[in-house]
Amino acid sequence: MALYSDTVMDHFMNPRNVGELENPDGVGEVGNPVCGDMMTITIRVKNDRIDDLKFKTFGCGAAIAVSSMLTEMAKGKTLDDAMKISNKMVAEKLGGLPSQKMHCSNLGADALHRAIEDYLAKKSGVERVVKEEKPQEDSAAEFECPFCRRVIDEKGKPFCAHCSLPFRLCTQCGHPVSQDASSCPKCGAELEPTEKGGKSEDA
């Protein structure tokens, strides 16, 4: 036990701000696959300051002490100041940590920063933008045969199931084009001619 300072022991035996906020403004989760420590920090923000925050930690005594001290240091600070809290600052505030336990302070600072980043992302509407971009993934309706213009359901086959004519894929956008095409009708990319360009007419 001599490896740990009185401050570390105090925060381990009497951790502050334990738990999880309901409907938090931001959530930060980090884990260390080597030691198995896991930390989750939830924050509530008012007027660009951390009004309240809580932590849940699965780990050793040092990890619990780090989480507890971190919440004390961050509470009431502006988001900018809270983002400046580093693992070194947390360790120093605890009176030092053994070298083999310094990774715990890394987790604590990272969890806080991720919670703030999560809040800022939600505030800037990142989630809404992602939802707007999602329909772009459904491009099946635009994946059409260059000959009969019907939708190609099985993209893995080099020929149209409707008209049986062969095609190739644009090297830039992946859209099907006729084998003798010199450019893609969809993205306009110039294409190299194929040796079997006239095969489509024989099919």
To the question of pTM greater than 0.75 for the whole model, the response is: no
pLDDT score of 132: 41
Q: Residue 101's pLDDT band (boundaries 50, 70, 90)?
A: low
Q: Which structural domains are found in the chain, ordered by start? A: 6-127 (3.90.1010.10), 136-195 (no CATH)
The string of DSSP letters for the chain reads -TTS-HHHHHHHHS-SSBS--SS-SEEEEEE-TTT--EEEEEEEEETTEEEEEEEEEES-HHHHHHHHHHHHHHTT-BHHHHHT--HHHHHHHTT---GGGHHHHHHHHHHHHHHHHHHHHHHTTHHHHHHHHGGGG--GGG-B-TTT--B-S-TTSSB-TTT--B-EE-TTT--EE-TT-SB-TTT--B-PPPTTTTHHHH-
pLDDT score of 44: 96
Catalytic residues: 35, 104
User: pLDDT tens digits for 107-155?
Assistant: 788 899 999 999 999 888 755 343 444 433 333 335 666 666 666 665 5
User: pLDDT tens digits for 170-183?
Assistant: 766 666 777 777 77
Percent of the chain with pLDDT over 70: 62
